[in-house]
Amino acid sequence: MAADMAAAMTASFPALHRWMDWAAEVPTADGVRAVLEAGEVAFDADVEWQYALREADGAVVGCVGLHRRPGDWIELGYWVRSDRTGRGYATSAARALTEAAFAHLPDAEQVEIHMDRANVASAAVPPKIGYRLDREEDRPVLTPGHTGRGYVWVADRSTWAGRHFEEPSA
């Protein structure tokens, strides 16, 4: 798994490096293995839940995760391999994990998605699945693509229940 994830990250490194502060260097299989092992510990501790996105043939096409934050909210993050964008992977995964957060984390009153305002592709996902743009805020410039301004998209437990969505078109 680590080698497959590292290969997907390497194939997408220019885009990941542009937006993700954790992508400061080209990943190695050993480095990814250490991150996956730490992720298992966080999963078992009930503080983070990260999942690989795979196509039917097993190819890793990205990652999605939920992360507990101080207070009663959860942060949702995602990335999709550069040569697989536009296929609905991030949208479907973000919707599924939002559903899971509200179904299985009774203390989670809201789920938030944060991104730099210049990350147009990432910002297209939240409104498709019912998130509302809650605010724009100052944020540190940690990557080459960051502008110093970020969007915070929010889904609230009270307004999420009962939503029905169409599957994204291919």
- 3-class secondary-structure state, position 142: coil
Q: Specify the amino acid at residue 54.
A: R
The domains located in the chain, with CATH, are 2-160 (3.40.630.30)
CB 74 within 8 A of CB 108: yes
Cβ–Cβ under 8 Å, residues 149 and 116: yes
Verdict on whether the full-model pTM lies above 0.85: yes
Helix (H, G, I), strand (E, B) or coil at 106: coil
> Tokens standing for 89?
């992977």
Q: What is the pLDDT of residue 169?
A: 53
What pLDDT does 166 receive?
53
Secondary structure of residue 136 in the 3-state scheme: strand
Cβ proximity of 133 and 153 under 8 Å: yes
Q: Which two tokens stand for residue 32?
A: 């990814």
C-beta separation of 48 from 66 below 8 A: yes
CA distance 98 to 143: 27
pLDDT tens digit at each of 170 positions of the chain: 899 999 999 999 999 999 999 999 999 999 999 999 999 999 999 999 999 999 999 999 999 999 999 887 899 999 999 999 999 999 999 999 999 999 999 989 999 999 999 999 999 999 999 999 999 999 999 999 999 999 999 999 998 875 655 555 54
